[in-house]
Amino acid sequence: MLLRGTISAPLSCLRLRSTTTSTPPLNVPVSRRTSTTTNNYSISDQDLDSRGFLLHRTIAELNLDHLNKVFVAVGFPKRDPDKIRTALEHTDALLWMEYRKTKRPVAFARATGDGVFNAIIWDVVVDPSFQGLGLGKAVMERLVEELVAKGICNIALYSEPRVLGFYRPLGFVADPDGIRGMVYSRKPKRKT
């Protein structure tokens, strides 16, 4: 899926939904809770913090084994931690959320790219115990905003069919102007 536009034409900058000002009860998902900041995020950094979620934009404090566990918990294949580290070191922008109580990552997304024209978003995950709270949306809003702020307007991602409905409200469209993504992909060799 591509963020609002075609691969050939630069995209207009993303406008995210504005927030309300009333205060819902604590059992309401964080995405529906209030924001008191001027950002157009569905949930502000402050609201996330007050719910015990800390935002990080580097891997300095990220335990890769814990991240791997989240990947596995959502059904991604378990990966070699050294390869994860290399991938993250070659990542242009990433965002993860730590749950203060457990000090573990519970939401993650990252983007690779050329730094000026194009970016691809990868590994968008939320720990199953924390899904449905608005964390996936919160991470995606911030990652996309960071890329757009760099002037990158072509932002693509691969979406499993069951997740298309998650990405569409964030501004992503499938097959823009009929353009189809094509992938050359090989299964990794099994270790003997």
User: Toward ligand COA, which CB reaches closer, 81 or 128?
Assistant: 128
Least CB distance from residue 86 to ligand COA, whole Å?
A: 21
143 belongs to the binding site for ligand COA (CB under 6 A): no
Q: Of 41, 99, 167, 184, which residue is the catalytic one? A: 167
Where does residue 4 fall: left (phi above 0), alpha (psi -120 to 50 degrees), or beta otherwise? left
160 belongs to the binding site for ligand COA (CB under 6 A): yes
Least CB distance from residue 161 to ligand COA, whole Å?
A: 9
148 belongs to the binding site for ligand COA (CB under 6 A): no
Residue 123 burial by CB count (10 A; 0-12/13-18/19+): exposed, middle or buried?
A: buried
Query: N- to C-terminal Cα distance for the chain?
Result: 36
Element (H, E) at 88: helix 81-89
167 catalytic residue (yes or no): yes
Least CB distance from residue 26 to ligand COA, whole Å?
A: 16
125 belongs to the binding site for ligand COA (CB under 6 A): yes
DSSP string, 118-169: EEEEEEEEE-GGGTTSSHHHHHHHHHHHHHHHTT--EEEE---GGGHHHHGG
The residue whose two tokens read 């529906």 is: 32
10 belongs to the binding site for ligand COA (CB under 6 A): no
171 belongs to the binding site for ligand COA (CB under 6 A): no
Neighbours of 43 (CB within 10 A): 26
User: Toward ligand COA, which CB reaches closer, 16 or 125?
Assistant: 125
179 belongs to the binding site for ligand COA (CB under 6 A): no
Residues that bind ligand COA (CB under 6 A): 31, 74, 124-126, 131-137, 159-160, 162-163, 165-166
